[in-house]
Amino acid sequence: MRTLEELVDRDQHAWPLVYEWLSQSSTSFELLPPSETRSDVLVALQVTTRSPMGAIAYETGGILVDHGWLRILGSGYPKLSRNIVDWSVGRAVGHLLIADDVTGGFFSINGGGLGEDRGSMYYWAPDTLKWEAMGFGYSDFFCWALSDKLAVFYEGLRWSDWEADVKKAAGDQCYSFYPFLWTKEGSIESSSRNLILISEQFAFNTDAVEKI
């Protein structure tokens, strides 16, 4: 285990680069202050601040992107209480959950449990319940999330008044749809939507995958 002093690299800190990416974003975002336990989070993560993931975990409580549609995990904050380490405990095997969205979709970085492409990003899609390879790593994912490509990616998962509904959702909530989006009857426009805890949605998805 590397110590905090070994993980916080003052000379080659990635935060200036991350901040530059944020300043160039074509998508709205909210930068949350880091948690008082950010040091513990970084030590548990064992990723240095030379990497964007380590820098985001240490310097932010998380980042809410596109009106809060996408939640990128950091060290935790009241508005987004989950942190990048604890959220995966008991949920992810062979991968690390790093972000999620208001439709109950989950993003994870592959540690070998999702395929042979270690370090690649995957999306657990709410309309298929399958882990889908994205073809790039964390840093490219972060830049992608701040670009116009995010809206293109979600074209089939956004309903007509989604912006108003997203404002009603807390950072630890998501919308649950019925009929489920992964069924033939499910539809992003016609299925009913109800806010639930995102932990409940993850547990429901895990159970559903085992049954279908």
Of 47, 132, 125, nearest to 84 by C-alpha is 47
**Confidence category of residue 172, pLDDT binned at 50, 70, 90:** very high
pLDDT of 73:
98
Task: Find the helix or strand (DSSP H, E) in which 207 lies.
Answer: helix 198-211
Tokens of 132: 């889908």
pLDDT of 22:
97
Q: Residue ranges per domain, the chain? A: 4-211
Of 45, 110, 94, 103, nearest to 73 by C-alpha is 45
The model's pLDDT over 93-150, given as tens digits with 9 standing for 90+, comes to 999 999 999 999 999 999 999 999 999 999 999 999 999 999 999 999 999 999 999 9
Residue position matching structure tokens 């993980």? 7
The model's pLDDT over 67-99, given as tens digits with 9 standing for 90+, comes to 999 999 999 999 999 999 999 999 999 999 999
Burial class (CB in 10 A: 0-12, 13-18, 19+), 3: exposed
Tell me which of 210 and 140 has the higher pLDDT.
140
Length of the chain: 212
Burial class (CB in 10 A: 0-12, 13-18, 19+), 11: exposed
* Total H helices, total E strands in the chain: 8, 9
Instruction: Using DSSP bridges, classify how beta strands 192-197 and 173-178 pair: parallel, antiparallel or unpaired.
Output: antiparallel
The model's pLDDT over 27-65, given as tens digits with 9 standing for 90+, comes to 999 999 999 999 999 999 999 999 999 999 999 999 999
d(CA 192, CA 12): 48
d(CA 44, CA 128): 32
Whether pTM > 0.95 for this model: the answer is: yes
Task: Find the helix or strand (DSSP H, E) in which 72 lies.
Answer: strand 70-73
Task: Find the helix or strand (DSSP H, E) in which 193 lies.
Answer: strand 192-197
d(CA 114, CA 136): 14
The model's pLDDT over 176-192, given as tens digits with 9 standing for 90+, comes to 999 999 999 999 999 99
**Confidence category of residue 212, pLDDT binned at 50, 70, 90:** confident
pLDDT of 80:
98
Report the mean per-residue pLDDT for the chain. 97
Could you give the 3-state DSSP secondary structure of residue 44? Answer: helix
Of 152, 118, 155, 154, nearest to 138 by C-alpha is 118
pLDDT of 211:
83
